[in-house]
Amino acid sequence: MKFTHKYRAPRLNLAGYKKALDAAMREVLAQGLMAWLEAVVAEVPIWSGASRATFVKIASKIDASVPIGGIPAPMDRTAMGMAASTGEMVTDAESGLYVFKYGTDLPWLVWNEFHNANIDPDPTLFSKLKRPGPYDFQVKGAAAFLHNTSHVSLPAVAPHIKSVRVR
């Protein structure tokens, strides 16, 4: 009696899995950024539009909008806020780096992030604030990002495994 067997071995489609992982990580980063934006924008009041406008560049990376108008102000300073900010997303599948970067050097936003300007006024402050700081938007944004992304898991490997015949 003769028994024959054709052995099959698993083979991982690594390129396919990396593509799925990249897509999943980009989606998670975008969702986390949206949660971050919602949290930080809620903490920064509208007056001249400058402070809120600092978030426009980073919001544009996920096609989100930042509410800036709606409250009459003595002057529109949205262009000043946009000029005083940076925003980018880094998505590099090769290195596994998926981050967003926001920065601003808008003086009164930076001051109000850490101080109650009505008690400890910025030397350039020109009026009393209805919603003085500290805003703590960085801490609240980070908490929202982490809360929103804490459930993340890697894509399933099984769809990327094939059974191949071994000779």
Distances (CA, A) of 74 to 5, 47, 48, 49: 84, 9, 7, 11
Beta bridge partners of 162: 11
Euclidean distance between CA atoms 34 and 135, whole angstroms: 19
Euclidean distance between CA atoms 74 and 6, whole angstroms: 81
User: Is the pLDDT assigned to residue 162 strictly greater than 70?
Assistant: yes
Percent of the chain whose pLDDT exceeds 90: 62
Q: How far apart, in Å, do the first and last CA atoms of the chain sit?
A: 22
> Which letter does DSSP use for residue 158 in this model?
G
Return the amino acid letter for 18. K
| Residue extents of the structural domains in the chain | 9-150
User: Is the pLDDT assigned to residue 50 strictly greater than 70?
Assistant: yes
Beta bridge partners of 102: 87
Percent of the chain whose pLDDT exceeds 70: 93
Euclidean distance between CA atoms 80 and 56, whole angstroms: 12
Q: What is the pLDDT of residues 78-128, one digit of tens each?
A: 899 999 999 999 999 999 999 999 999 999 899 889 888 778 777 766 666
Q: What is the pLDDT of residues 90-104, one digit of tens each?
A: 999 999 999 999 999
Euclidean distance between CA atoms 111 and 135, whole angstroms: 9
> Which letter does DSSP use for residue 53 in this model?
H
